[in-house]
Structure 1
Amino acid sequence: MTGSTGEGGLWRKPSDAIWLAATALVFIGIDAGLFLASGPTTGALGPYAALVLMIGCDLALLLLIRFPNLVAGLLVAGSLAMLASDLFSPGLLLPAEKPTLMTVPTVTPVVLSQLACLVDRRRLLWIAGVLAVLATRPWDPAWNTTPFGLLSTALPVAISLYFEARRQLLRSLRDRAERAEREQHLLAERARAEERRRLAGEMHDVVTHRLSLMVLHAGALGVASGDAAVRCAAEDIRREGAHALDELRDLVGVLRDNAAAEPKPPALSPAGDVADLVAESAAVGITTELSATGDPSVLSPTVARTAYRVVQEALTNVRKHSPGSSVTVSLRYHPGGLDVCVSSTRSGRAPDPALAGSGSGAGLSGLRQRVELVGGVFEAGPLPGGGFRTGAILPAYVPTTEGAAR
């Protein structure tokens, strides 16, 4: 609870002015009735001193929301004046004949109940404690002083604190529920983003690879066949495959733009996969040799998958951009990990424009991210005598759940 209130006016909203003015009028009526019942004061301040003091405290209600500390101070000062008058100068501020010995203004319960929402708790308890002492007069307890004093000071504060604590608890529970809902939504969004990124990676690495093979096979069939119908069908297959690669590139771009995490591809067998890639490359007319030394079992599955993707992307790029070249795939397994190198010679002929332009442009950058994610080093660039080299230095093990289980 804080003492800050609305800026720029006495009330935070128009309804505050209405209920405060109505309450002040009610208590002015009560104080006027008590004045008529008890009679005027007889001191030097005149016969209406008590009534003026009470009405002044009642009208202070209008300032309660904007100046709560000031109103509380006026209430305490008025109570002290009433007590001093009763003890040392009877009849000055209190009538000689009064219905109760309580020496606090009648509007005190309303002020204290509202202060619970306007000032901090420590200050509220101090104000309520001072007013309770002045109202009950514990040094001179009486049946018409102590009960009424506690009812007008301690009880309103206790009730207000209870309802304020209840409001804060409900607000806290509501905020906690909203926060949990937002966190659940963020987790769902993150899961969807991870799935999009995984799909984008797999589509780029697998589907693009297969489609490029299909386009090359169709092109080779169109060149080698002497049947016009076969050549026409092969050209249709090649053209549709190139269109499919373009659409796949756009789809992969959409998936990558909406993703926020690295892919987590399914497990692949490290043994024999690279040999299959080499065989596929050789089947479409690209001379490809594989050189492998060392023990492949030293690699964790995550690192083996990364090596597979490096070779796959490098061979796909050779088929797209360097037809007629020869390729050497070198795998050197050692206790520290794996060195991968895919180097190609100068292109033997011009690349197919449809096939060369079908890429998404994110293959090498995606490979670099994948390699660095497992703690490796990625290199790619042209060779001095022509051709291109793609290589990676990979560790033997990455601390993942899958690797730990292995």
Structure 2
Amino acid sequence: MPGRVPRPRRYRCGVKRPTTRGLIVVALAFAVLDVVLYLLGPKTTGWAGAAAHLTINLVVDASLCLLARYPVGVALLAVAGALTMLGSDLFAPGLLVPEDALTMRSAPTATPAIVANIGLLLDRRRALILTGMLMVLAARPWAPSWEITPTGLLNTALPLAIVLYLDARKQLVRSLRDRAERAEREQHLLAEQARAQERRRLAAEMHDVVTHRLSLIVLHAGALGVTTTDAAVRTAVEEIRLAGTQALDELRDLVGVLREGGAEPGAGARGAGSAAAADPAVLVAESRAVGIPVDLVTEGDPGSLSPTVTRTAYRVVQEALTNVRKHAPGARVRVGLRYGAEGVRIEVANTTSERPPDPVLAGRGSGAGLPGLRQRVELIGGSLAAGPVAGAGGYRLDAILPAYVPTAESKDQDDPGGRGR
């Protein structure tokens, strides 16, 4: 049969192909309608028999089952039926069409369903040609009549117009949605670009200003340690120098993260030493030394973490213990570190304080410790949650950090030979 449509084809407006079950239901509905009209209306009176008009309509109704696969063939069959009915009505009244028919006298009853579906299944040119043929036969423009012409137009031109309108409307909605999504993506890219520029600016400021000042402090402390003869001063100076060196390592590492892999050469070597020194057990020992009971529970091997993550974990524990010293004097603290292949989970929980906090010590904070720590954790792809413990009292901090952060430092640690390239 001509005009076969491939099975994977879809409606132009984006609606899926009609199922065979749905087409059978439509065909049965039109068949029932034709039978009811045959029983209630006048019959044909020619030699073809009383059911000639019903037979033509039932044949066209049955062809609806093949409409999705053969839209052109079904439409041409409807055109052939319309030509037969028109010829009978003009030249042999009552032979194939009753003289006072209750339906269109020169088009099958199922014509609206056929027109609507070919408007969806076929390209616009072929749909207009086939619909135009059915419209001319059904409306008879060469002999306009208030009884025939409006009915023919309503059953042919109107279904196609509705289908084309819905198709155009869906295409417009899809186009507007695509435009909105494209604008949203562009806005997101612009925001990402602005954030990247701001991060590069901050990295440059930190490298050019803060790192320079810290380097001067470390140099002056080293010089003072060499020239002084006082043991206490030498010890204090050495602590200042070590603290300044660690701060330089962390700044260089953070600059590398902000630049997204643009850390300066040699940062890997410095980071390794800093990572080795960033042991949370040191912080626990310091807190115990000032009278805070701290229990440390460690699970897993911390050696699988990159230096960036190791120092971030160190800062999380440091900030948590600092807050305990400030705001919960006398509280008991539990520090849990669980290392795994995917990263590390840090849990720091303290009980309620046994005495009021020192107003001078508690008032020295700026309130930006936890927000800044959360930003630092999120910067390397982790998460941090902190808040009071419901029911039991006290406070709890929970952080999850990845095992690896792709910065220049991490690359140097993974590929030591790459530093020479």
Structure 2 length-normalised TM: 0.54
User: What code does the residue aligned with 1:184 have?
Assistant: Q
Partner of 2:82: 79
Aligned: 1:42 with 2:24: no
Report what 2:144 is aligned to: 141
Residue type matched to 2:210 in 1? V
User: CA offset at residue 6 of structure 1?
Assistant: 5.6
Distance 1:24 1:5 in 2: 22
Q: Is the 8 A contact 1:31 1:54 kept in 2?
A: yes
- The equivalent of 1:60 in structure 2 is 63
2:246 matched residue in structure 1: 243
2:42 aligned partner, one-letter code: S
> Structure 2 vs 1, CA of residues 191 and 24 (structure 1 numbering), >3 Å: closer, same or farther?
same
Distance 2:5 2:255 in 1: 54
Distance 2:176 2:9 in 1: 32
Moved over 6 A (4+): 12-15
Deviation at 1:134, TM superposition (A): 0.7
- Paired with 2:10 and 2:157, the residues of 1 have a C-alpha distance of 30
CA distances 1:278-317 after superposition (whole Å, capped 9, x unpaired): xxxxxxxxxxxxxxxxxxxxxxxxxxxxxxxxxxxxxxxx
1:165 aligns with 2:168: yes
Whose Rg is larger?
1
Paired position in structure 1 for 2:159:
156
Asked whether 1:226 is paired with 2:225, we answer no
Alignment check: 8 A CA contact 2:9 2:17 kept: no
For 2:222 and 2:187, locate their aligned partners in 1 and report how far apart those are by CA, in whole Å: 51
Q: Which moved more, 1:106-115 or 1:46-55?
A: 46-55
The residue that corresponds to 1:367 in the other structure is none
Q: Who is 1:374 aligned against? A: none
1:211 to 210, 214, 217: 214
Name whichever of 21-30 and 126-135 sits farther off. 21-30
Structure 1 position 91, deviation (Å): 5.4
Residue 303 of structure 1: aligned partner: none
Does the 8 A contact of 2:53 with 2:97 survive in 1? yes
- Counterpart mapping for 1:269-280 below 5 A: none
Per-residue displacement from partner, 1:14-39 (whole Å, max 9, x unpaired)? 98445433322221112113333232
Structure 1 position 239, deviation (Å): 0.9
Q: 1:43–1:92: 8 Å Cα contact kept in structure 2? A: yes
Q: Aligned partners of 1:258 and 1:149: how far apart in 2?
A: 73
For residue 257 of structure 1, give the secondary structure of its aligned residue in structure 2.
coil
Instruction: Tell me: CA distance 1:186–1:198, structure 2 relative to 1, closer, same or farther (3 Å).
Output: same
RMSD value over aligned CA atoms?
A: 3.2
What runs of 5+ residues in structure 1 fail to find an aligned partner?
Answer: 260-359, 363-406
The aligned residue for residue 7 of structure 1 is: 8
**Which of the residues 27, 30, 40 maps onto 1:27?**
30
Secondary structure of the 2:161 match is helix
Task: Classify 1:99/1:89 alpha carbon distance in 2 versus 1 (closer, same or farther; 3 Å).
Answer: same
Note the C-alpha offset of 1:144: 2.0
Structure 2: 5+ residue stretches without partners = 263-406, 410-421
Matched, 1:104 2:110: no
User: What residue is the counterpart of 2:300 in the other structure?
Assistant: none
Matched residues, percent identical? 57
Specify the alignment match of 1:132 in structure 2: 135
The AA in structure 2 aligned to 1:128 is T
